Every structure is written in C-alpha cells, then in structure tokens.
Amino acid sequence: MSGPSTYVPKTAFSRWLDARLPIIRFANDTMLTFPTPRNLNFWYAFGAILTVFLGIQIVTGIVLAMHYVPNENLAFDSVESIMRDVNYGWLLRYMHANGASFFFLAVYVHMFRGLYYGSYKAPREVLWILGVVIYVLMMATAFLGYVLVWGQMSFWAATVITNLFSSLDQIVPHVGTAIATWLWGGFAVGDATLNRFFSLHYLLPFAIAAVVGLHIWALHVPGNNNPLGIDVKGPQDTLPFHPYYTAKDAFYVALFVVLYMAVVFYNPDLTGNPDNYIPANPVVTPPDIVPEWYLLPFYAMLRSVPQKLLGVLVLAGAIVTLFFVPWLDTSKVRSCRFRPQMKFFFWFFVVDCILLGYLGSQSVDAAWNLAGIDLPLVWVARFATAYYFGFFWVLLPLVGLFEKPKALPDSIAKSVLGNAQPMPAE
Amino acid sequence: MATTTAAEPTRRDFIYIATGAAAAVGGALAAWPFIDQMNPSSAVLALASIEVDIASIQPGQSVTFKWRGHPLFVRRRTPKEIAEANGVALSDLKDPLARNANLAEDAPATDRNRSTKPEWLVLVGVCTHLGCTPTVSTPQVPQGEYGGWLCHCHGSQYDTAGRIRKGPAPENLAVPPYSFLSATRLKVG
Ligand code: HEM
Ligand code: FES
C-alpha cells in the first residue's frame, strides 16, 4: 500500500548516505509520507501511546536497575532505599510501577479496538498474531518485574504462577515438578529465582521492542484498517502520516501521559497492594493473594475451576484462544459499525472481561446476596468464563454466518467528506 | 537434474544427512549447559536436611519450621484429631495415596500411613494446588470443615491427617522424609 518511495534526498550528504544506507528514506516512507486512512479516530492513538509507554518502561527500568539489588536478603531494602534515599527514586519507581498499569490499560483498549473494527481479519492476521505475542511477553515481563520487589505479594505471586507448571504432573508424573524446580533453581522460590527473574525482566522488554518492530512492519504492508473496516481504494482515501497523524497521536499521547502523571503524583499506590510493603516471608501466605489488576480476569477463570490441571488449561486456553481469532470470525464485514448483532455481543464481552476482573479481586468464598439468596461468586465466574470462551469459539463463527450486515459505504473519502472535493494531500 | 534416474541415495545425500544429524546433536549438547544451569546448584542441594527440636510442642499445637525454603508443619495431634482422621473411609478421599516419602509410592492414604508416630504429623506446608501455605485449623479458630488446614488462596481444605478433602488441590499434603533422632528431636530430609 505504501507504494514506491517518494523520497528525494536534498543535500549532498543525504544523497551520499541514501546510496549506502537508505535509512532516511526508510524513516520518510514509514513515518512521514506513509498513506494513512483519513478517518482514523481516537481509538487509533493507542498504538502511539503504547510505543511511548514501552519507552518509559525501558528508560525508568534501566535507571532503577542502577540501584536495585537482586538478592533475597537485600532486594526489598534496595527498593525501599530507592523510595527513600535515591534522588528522585520515588518518582522513578512510581513511574515504572504505574507505567506498567497504564501500559496494560492502553494495550487492552488497543486490543478491544482491534476486535471491534475487525482489524484481525485478512490481510492483517499476522499483524494481530504479533500483537498477541507482544501481549503475552508483556504479561511475562510485568509478572517478573512484580516479583523483583520481593514483598509478600511478589513472593506468593511467584510461587503460585510457577506452580501452574506443576499441574503438568497430572499428565506426566514428576515432569511438572521438574519444570517448577528448574524455574526456581531450588526447591522453592528463593534467591536463585529472584536473580534469574531480574535477568529476564531486563531482557524481555527488548524482545518486546523487537516484536513491536515486526508488528509495525506487518502493519505497513497492508496499511491501517479503519473504523469503517473497508479497504482504501486510492489516494483520495488517505492522508500522509505526518503531519496529520503525528499531530493527532501526539495530542492523545499527551492527554494519556497527563492522566498517568496525575496518578504517579497524587495516588501512586492506587493499584498497588499494601501487602507488597511487607517483606517476603516464605512460610506465611497473606490471607488474600491477588495479582495486579491487569491479570485479574485470568485469575478469576483459574479459580472458577475446582480441578488443578483443568484450571490451568482454562487459563492457558483463554490466552491461546486469542491467536485463533482471525480464523474464528466468519463475517465478510470487518467493522462492528455494520454488524448489529456482533456489536451487541462485543459490548457484552467487554463487560464480561471487566466482570471477570472484579471477580478475580474478590475472595474465593465470597457471594452476592440477591434478595436473600446467596449466589456464590465462583458460579458467577463460571458463567463469565463460559461467555469468554463462547464469545470466541461460538459467537464469532456463528454470528458471522447468520448476521445481515448493514450496507457499507462506497469509500472512506465519500463517508468522511460527503460530496465535497477531497483536499489534495501534499 | 530432470534426467537423473538414480533412486539410490547418493554420496551427497549421505553427507547432507550426516551433517544435519551432527549439527542437531551438537546443537542439543551445546544447549544443555545453558538449560541445566537453571537447576538447583550443589550449594542448594547441600542444605537439604535439617534437625528440629519438638520438645515444647503441646498436644493440639502446630508449629511451622522452614525446610528447603518451604514451610514445614509439625503438629502434635490430640487423640480426638487422630480418631477423626482414622474414622474417614478411604473411598471418601480425593487422593487415595499416602504421599509419604518414608513409604512406598503406592501406599494407601490411611491415617497410619501418614505419620511415623500417630501423635506427630510432619508435613510439607505447601498446598498441592499452587503452593500457598495453608492455615492451620484449631478448635478455637476453625479453618474449613475438616479440622486440618484451609488454604486461603483458592479454598483447598485438608483434614487432620493433612489429606485433601475439598477444593482444587489434587494431592494430600506431602510427608517429607524424616526420622526421630530421639523422643524430642526430628531429622527432616
Ligand atoms: C515492558 C516493559 C516493562 C514492564 C511492563 C515492567 C513492569 C514492571 C513491574 C510491574 C514492576 C514492579 C513495580 C512495583 O510494584 O514496584 C517492575 C519492577 C522493576 N523493573 Fe520493570 N518493567 C518493564 C521494563 C523494565 C526494564 C527494561 C528494566 C531494566 C532493567 C526494568 C527494571 C525493573 C526493576 C529494577 C524493578 C524493581 C524495582 C521496582 O519495583 O521499581 N523494567 N517492572
Ligand atoms: S494454592 Fe492452595 S488452594 Fe490454590
């Protein structure tokens, strides 16, 4: 879609460089003149927001690592020392901890956006799959980072998550335990575990950056999808990325960063768990262990199953399902704007995910009292889990077959401009 | 070449396969140190056994020690608790195996097989679901329905012999290898 390069080197140096390493041409074609549908809305700013947050996490992380000590006896104190003694340490740590939260907030918006506008459909399947890979790497990175603090929640999160692998014992005896022992480097989560988690927590963000590169490459082959979900038919449907989308993205990035810094400055422990200010104690589990908010829906699914192996399979299945989405949706129309039934199920799915998140934060034996009858929350979680899977494996295939989509507009330009003449894009 | 008729493997095929096989085996051998370095080091393995003094533990009391980085429960059971555990039919158990490192792997989960001396229950305090430490139940502060332990993480319940009775955990709490050095000293591991 990007077509032949329009870059013309203007100076002697840029001509010289262009013949040797056409890096300016590359930047020009991908970031400046790149033809972008003229109807991208607010929800399309989250890609830029995510890129900025990956940068924030890497920069704050690298400076935190200058003061952090990955040792079971020193880690917790080193984080406290970052908070109290290191110049601006409190700011850097709160930026990093809340940066992870906002990173996930942005990625969830970005993913729901993709689901709503059918951005995973042909020819963008690989783009979607790379996105899911990034999401999985993000979850791994955030989990590893959370363990580094070596508070009570850190320790028990590490224990519970690594023990997910021990469920494999129920398929091949001893294999699961062997994997868990290998992950721990001991008989339990301990010093060896903390050290390797630090090593990997440092590594994975760079792996994410690499996959982001592939993700954007895969985006630039077919070009952006758009809220109408129809293909770009010609130059009248697009605008150059710069200045139109650089300006629009920058505006929303700034807005999002304001929100983020407001939390960093005024309520930095908003999503944190107070138990993580208690140093790790390997012999006492806190009464209520909960993961960070962004993992709660999966935690609710895990807990809703009363059998160990099945619970782990449901948890893994919920994530793996995302890889299949491009082939589960049978509809010919991409955008939910023109899919009246799917639109309804989509919004129900959003509510379902939020509900699962809420359920994951409640204690296991909690119940809702409805007109005198106790409705155990595990049952609510079971229904919510069923809808999560049903949405992907039943509704996406079936609704696409039976739904009658609304009429699609002729072109992006017509839909945006009516009969007015499109302005020539410079 | 389209005109080649030789169906016989050629010397070149042999060289391809031999090279490929050598590369695969060599690759696996070279990868192994990078994988195995993550397994417990000899320093970790060397610290694998401890001795504990149990003289001060009163009947009805459960004390937690630390063994191999895990909590270790030593519970001095009351006659009532032992009788309760004995009264359970094997068919009511979720996990029929004793999980006692001092006995054969297939020993049944009778109360007798869960301890060396019925009065002393020695268990690894790691919930067999996802590894939290269960909370001990006492007559004053009961935890769950079976008088043993309750794991708050996802609600697994254990009886007074540490056997799983309800919840997502698949196995009874493990009995570590241990022996009595004297009436009041225990060697674990
Ligand atoms: C994808 C990007 C990243 C994510 C999502 C992420 C996430 C996290 C999270 C959730 C924590 C726990 C925060 C807390 O509760 O205090 C953490 C801690 C930490 N991270 Fe990262 N991180 C990322 C990148 C990095 C990088 C590139 C480094 C460089 C070494 C790094 C170094 C650290 C250190 C030293 C800590 C422990 C100190 C602390 O708690 O603030 N992180 N990370
Ligand atoms: S860890 Fe004990 S019930 Fe899940």
Tens of pLDDT, residue by residue over A236-290, are: 999 999 999 999 999 999 999 999 999 999 999 999 999 999 999 999 999 888 9
Q: What is the pLDDT of residues A65-82, one digit of tens each?
A: 999 999 999 999 999 999
CA–CA min distance A208, chain B (Å) = 22
pLDDT at A371: 82
Distance, in Å, from the CA atom of A82 to the CA atom of A86, rounded to the nearest integer, reads: 5
pLDDT at B46: 80
Distance, in Å, from the CA atom of B107 to the CA atom of B98, rounded to the nearest integer, reads: 6
pLDDT at A1: 45
- Average pLDDT of chain A is 95
Known catalytic membership, residue B70: no
Instruction: Give the Å distance between the CA of B114 and the centre of ligand 1.
Output: 44
Residue A306: which of B69, B152, B167 has the nearest Cβ? B167
Q: What is the pLDDT of residues A364-396, one digit of tens each?
A: 788 898 888 889 999 999 999 999 999 999 999
3-state secondary structure A350-411: HHHHHHHHHHHHCCCCCEEEECCEEEEHHHHHHHHHHHHHHHHHHHHHHHHHHCCCCCCCCC
Amino acid at A110: H
With CA atoms as reference, report the closest residue to B37 among A158, A200, A207, A196. A196
pLDDT at A97: 97
B39 to A306: CB separation less than 8 angstroms, yes or no? no
Q: Is the dihedral angle over the CA atoms A22, A23, A28, A34 positive or is it negative? A: positive
Interchain CB contact of A179 with B (< 8 Å) = no
Q: Which residues of chain B are within 8 Å of residue A364 when distances are taken between CB atoms?
A: 152-155
The CB of A127 under 6 Å from ligand 1? The reply is no
The CB of A208 under 6 Å from ligand 1? The reply is yes
pLDDT at A232: 95
Residues with CB under 6 A from ligand 2: B 127, 129-132, 151, 153-156, 167-169
Phi, psi at B165, each rounded to 5°: -120, -25
B39 to A363: CB separation less than 8 angstroms, yes or no? no
Instruction: Note whether B35 and B144 are within 8 A (CB).
Output: no
**By CB neighbour count within 10 A (0-12 exposed, 13-18 middle, 19+ buried), where does B189 fall?**
middle
Amino acid at A14: S
Cβ-based neighbour number of residue A208 at 10 Å? 22
Mutate one of A153, A159, A167, A169 to test the B interface: name it (highest B CB count within 10 A): A159
What's the ipTM?
A: 0.84
Interchain CB contact of A188 with B (< 8 Å) = yes
B114-125 mean pLDDT: 93
pLDDT at A3: 63
pLDDT at A423 over 90: no
Query: What pTM value is reported for the model?
Result: 0.92
Nearest atom in ligand 2 to the alpha carbon of residue B155 is 3
